[in-house]
Chain A
Amino acid sequence: MSDRIPAEAERVFTTTIEKDQRVEPRDWMPDGYRKTMIRQIAQHAHSEIIGMQPEGAWITRAPSLRRKAILLAKVQDEAGHGLYLYSAAETLGADRGDLTRRLIEGRQKYSSIFNYPTLTFADVGVIGWLVDGAAICNQVPLCRSSFGPYARAMIRICKEESFHQRQGYELLMTMMRGTEAQREMVQDAVDRWWWPSLMMFGPPDAESPNTAQSMAWKIKRHTNDELRQRFVDMSVPQAEALGVTLPDPDLRWNADRGHHDFGEIDWTELKRVISGDGPMNAERLAHRRRADEDGAWVREAAAAHAAKRQGVPA
């Protein structure tokens, strides 16, 4: 690779993208592509790790042992997703410890959806149904990302996310067959999570400056608004089957468009939460920072032990 002239390398890269083939870690790639991929994968990894917190808080309080097992397995899966993704970022020359520092110092983002609190156990079900559902809508096209390690990680992640979504929906179905108080819990959770779920697709296309380049590089396959529309269209019949109302008076079928129309999203709220002023931003980062600090002596010990075994100083 290194003996190729850059123009030739760039031509190979462009052809790879055009032919819908995969860029692999050892291939030449533009610096912008590398940086964008590291940022995209790291943000996804951070989201998996921070995303363990809102649901993880309910593991010890789950109201049946079966639900406890399901939730514990799900949160474990999220740790696993984080691990694959950090590993995919490391193939591009990033370092997991460095990415973690960027997260806890607030220099890299994670999905703003995790800055909302989980107030009742119904939130666990609604996160599975709507939040994991929106994540799947975003992530299924990424199984065809032009960057090979990310695309392959996404295939496995999407399969597991699909489990999680169905589990969440099944919990809600069960609760809706329960007491009146449980049905109210489900509706309340839907009311709180619906709009933040729509915001998971990011700003409207007109205000998404990086979309064009990302789509040209085939690391993004659909625009934010396309994916958001798909999510709304999929969710409406699910809500009807469940027996809950989605909290949007403007939500209705538009036969001309062949899609559901829906109300205006409160973009100022999204901006506020992304910029750090959501209900739980400070707490989520503080928790992660504390875990990192509390574990420092353990990681240092592991490194020292490994060095002793190899006969070199730590």
Chain B
Amino acid sequence: MSFDDAYQALTDHDDDARWAYGTGFADPLAGVPTALPDGVDGADLAAYCLMIGDDALILSHRLQQWVTRAPELEDEMAIANIGLDLLGQARLLLTRAGEAEGTGRDEDDLAYLRDPADFRHVRLVERDDTDFGQLIARLLVFSTWRLALLDRLATSRDPVLAAIGAKGVKEVAYHREYAAGWAVRLGDGTELSHRRMQDAVDAVWPLLGELFTPHDVEVRLAAAGVAVDPASLRPEFDTVLTEVLRAATLDMPAADTAEAGGIVPVGATSPASGAVSAGGGTGGRDGRHGDELAAILAELQGLARATPGGVW
């Protein structure tokens, strides 16, 4: 740039879309074939992309809510960075979902114009964080699970999912490192931080089950070599969490009793444990969410919905 005239050339650029880090210097999927692999059901692939795309979109939203209120400047930058990575993953996955379903919906149609029951993320990602320790516990669990997932997706028969997996592994490896570092510092810090970090781990544990319970769509796509059976991720997850919690001097909670991790639907009288059979209908993957999602979507979608025909 010219240091004499910062305004120079303000209007004669045609590369407007490429000005910010993380917003598209290079298309990460350039050259990747987008045709559906043989024998793969488009509706299943679209549903799967929404599941893991919505996970990223909603957790990114929660991370965005931390911006300007992190405990240190270094954490402002890390949290924004992680939120930006997950937002990038969500954009690629929602775009792929639109392609796979063949309706012509793009990333913004899917992010801004779906109602709560059409979101497919796990309950873990929509939780509000009452303190920084809660955020760290959720991020540790989520990034450990997702790193294992993306690592396997990198060999998916769907070339787009494979490319997203390969790109995401590098990002989420950092997310896990960041979360694990803080879990250890807080767990093995002061008496107060130890108690808060243990509370945070205990609070997140009942939500684990849903991460590892296969949905019908995942089972079918895993058999076709496209998706990953989430149950297969558990051993790696347990190994990592055991090591981190030990280093953090934290207790591993008792086995996650809510095996399916599903939520208790409004009006239900029995606990969620075991209630989510594959495709059975009471978990986040089936569009069942808590009240928190309505508030998230009001914030996320409000402006876009209030300006029909707007271009941004």
Contacts and interface: CB of A to CB of B under 8 A. Distances in A.
A163 B7 CA distance: 11
Contact of B312 (A53, A136, A175): A175
A60 B300 contact: yes
A35 interface: no
B267 interface: no
A75 B22 CA distance: 13
Contacts of A287: 68-69
A25 B221 CA distance: 61
Interface residues of B, number: 67
B235 interface: no
Given A75-B80, A158-B3, A167 B20 contact: yes
A8 B167 CA distance: 58
B303 A301 contact: no
B10 A166 contact: yes
A4 interface: no
Contacts of A166: 10, 13, 16, 19
B113 to A, nearest CB: 12
Interface in B141-187: 182, 184-186
B179 to A, nearest CB: 13
A53 B20 contact: no
Nearest to A176: B311
Contacts of A298: 71-72, 132-133, 182, 186, 193
A241 B65 CA distance: 35
Contacts of A65: 87, 90-91, 94, 107-108, 111
B77 A79 contact: yes
Nearest to B309: A179
Contacts of B21: 73, 77
Contacts, number: 204
Interface stretch (A80-88, A191-199, A204-212, A259-267): A80-88
Contacts of B185: 301-302, 305
Interface in B64-93: 64-65, 67-77, 80-81, 83-84, 87-88, 90-91
A251 interface: no
A56 interface: yes
Nearest to B304: A63
Contact of B77 (A80, A167, A170): A80
Contacts of B132: 294-295, 298
A103 interface: no
A137 B5 CA distance: 8
A229 interface: no
B295 to A, nearest CB: 11
A291 B68 contact: yes
B31 interface: no
B56 to A, nearest CB: 11
Given A76-B77, A79-B80, A297-B196, A56 B311 contact: no
Contacts of A96: 73
Contacts of A272: none
A165 B22 contact: no
Nearest to B17: A66
A178 B310 contact: yes
Interface in A49-67: 49, 52-53, 56, 59-67
A301 B186 contact: yes
A181 B77 contact: no
A297 B197 CA distance: 11
A84 to B, nearest CB: 10
Contacts of B75: 295
Contact of B10 (A238, A294, A299): A238
Interface string A285-308: 001001100111111111011001
Contacts of A302: 185, 189
B67 A304 contact: no
Contacts of B80: 72-73, 75-76, 79
Contacts of B133: 298
A60 B302 CA distance: 10
Contacts of A177: 311
A73 B22 contact: yes
B70 A291 contact: yes
A149 interface: no
A133 interface: yes
Contacts of B186: 298, 301, 305
A137 B80 CA distance: 27
Most buried by B among A66, A74, A161: A66
A161 B220 CA distance: 49
Contacts of B311: 174-175, 177-179, 182
Given A167-B20, A304-B189, A59 B3 contact: no
Interface of A: 49, 52-53, 56, 59-70, 72-77, 79-80, 82-83, 86, 96, 121, 133, 136-137, 140, 143, 158-159, 161-163, 165-167, 169-171, 174-175, 177-179, 181-182, 234-235, 238, 241, 287, 290-291, 294-302, 304-305, 308, 314
Interface of B: 1, 3-7, 10-11, 13, 16-17, 19-24, 61, 64-65, 67-77, 80-81, 83-84, 87-88, 90-91, 94, 107-108, 111-112, 131-133, 182, 184-186, 188-190, 192-193, 196, 299-300, 302-304, 307, 309-312
A-B interface, 7 closest residue pairs, ranked by CB to CB distance from nearest: A295-B71, A301-B189, A301-B193, A76-B80, A298-B71, A136-B6, A79-B76
Given A76-B77, A300-B189, 12 more contacts: A56-B68, A62-B303, A63-B303, A64-B112, A66-B91, A67-B312, A76-B80, A121-B312, A136-B7, A161-B6, A174-B312, A234-B6
10 contacts: A60-B61, A63-B312, A68-B87, A72-B67, A77-B21, A166-B19, A178-B309, A291-B71, A300-B189, A301-B193
